[in-house]
Amino acid sequence: MANHKSALKRIRSNNKKRLLNRFQHKTARNAIKKLRETTTKKEANKLFPKVASLIDKLAKKNIIHANKAGNLKSKLAKHVASL
């Protein structure tokens, strides 16, 4: 167990940040799945900017790696174009 006040505070803040990161990551993953399941081009074109924005936010906050974000966006753009 932590012995210092600052260490206890760090544990609390890390838990809060971890929960927020998990929520944001899961939300983005669900949005990606929803976009991949769409069959109409109109709906996919509507969803793509929102999903790309979520991915960019994750990369900016270092929740996912920048290269992974680029790869995801590229694959999703390819999927949307193929519809």
pLDDT in tens, 15-64: 999 999 999 999 999 999 999 999 999 999 999 999 999 999 999 999 99
68: tokens are 């992974």
Please tell me what DSSP assigns to residue 4. Answer: S
22: tokens are 């998990």
pTM of the entire predicted model:
0.84
Rounded to whole angstroms, the Cα distance separating 63 from 29 reads 12
Q: Are 2 and 8 in contact (CB under 8 A)?
A: yes
**Look-up: residue for tokens 């006040």?**
5
pLDDT tier for residue 1 given thresholds of 50, 70 and 90: confident
